[in-house]
Amino acid sequence: MSRPQPFPGHAATTAVPGLEFRYAAADTLPRQLADDRVLAVLGFGSSAPANDDPRWLRVPLQPLDDAPPLIEVWHARGPVRHGRDGEVAWASDGGLLFGAIEVDEGHAGIEDAAGRAYARMAAFMAGRDTPHLLRIWNYMDAITLGEGDEERYRRFCVGRAAGMGALDAARLPAATAIGSCDGRRRLQVYWLASREPGTPVENPRQVSAYRYPRQYGPQSPSFARAMLPPAGSAMPLLLSGTAAIVGHASQHSDSLQAQLDETLANLDSLVATARRQAPELPAALGAGSLLKVYVRDREAAPAVAAHLAARLDPAVPRLLLHAQVCRRELQVEIDGVHGLAQA
């Protein structure tokens, strides 16, 4: 078997990887992409401009406030190379990899699109020096459309598992799966991978998603609740999409405020659990955190913003996005990064 080769222009390296996530004003995009240490830049909604740099990704979720638009910047430690390999856009500093793929569903549907996207991602990753998935984001239209096992999210889970192949629960990445509201049947998947594996973190308040009972579909969701970065790296804790679920059951279907409080309790639990292995992580969300808040009902955005302002440290950067959570009774979901874990 041939040894996986590094990306063009990168020699194999043992340099300590580092990655910083931050929000910046959208009008700084040209300056961000001119920086050869920027691994990726994400724009949100219809105002995000077109740009053919492989590090730039337009996320199909509309921001829910009237503030000047923001972009999300991933800043690495080393010089970044980037390019395209068929449908896959990629960027790498030799220790970390950003990848993205978009697949039209066509007539075959979301299960087929997920299978194709994940099979292509797996094939792309197999030949690289950064084979370990740390974090994946999945965005698709109408995520809860359909009844029973024909619900689109359940079909996505089946296709994702088929495309990923054999699953090792001890190595599942952190992940988010969220529904867009743009009416386009197009699956967007982007990810962060590394030369060395991270450490998955589970939430003691919740059943691990990959162990959900059959009532949630024929294929359990394939992700960890959070991911600690590789040992020795300078990176934050990566928080999966988190909602008001305790055990495996949704909570507070009649109260947005209670759902937000339960979601924050789950995030606090994840941080506390991660700190047992990485005690240098801050004990609470703060200036070193960065959150994306997915809100199902556009009209609820002011209430969500007000409640988070009352509950969170004002230093926590956060972006509210119009999106559908993968269970109809859930009104909000939050993901993000936290602190700087240095093992």
Residue 329 CA, chain-centre distance (Å), reads 21
Which ranges of 152-286 does DSSP label H, i.e. alpha helix?
152-164, 256-275
3-state secondary structure of 146: coil
Task: Considering the candidates 20, 72, 102, 333, report the single residue annotated as catalytic.
Answer: 333
* Cβ partners under 8 Å of residue 254, min gap 6: none
Q: How far apart are CA 10 and CA 81, in angstroms?
A: 8
Q: How far is CA 183 from CA 143, 151, 186, 285, in A?
A: 11, 16, 9, 34
Neighbours of 132 (CB within 10 A): 16
Active site residue 333: yes
Whether residue 132 contacts residue 198, with contact meaning beta carbons closer than 8 Å, is answered with: yes
Report CA Rg, the chain: 19
Q: How far apart are CA 274 and CA 85, in angstroms?
A: 35
Task: Indicate which residues carry an active-site annotation.
Answer: 333
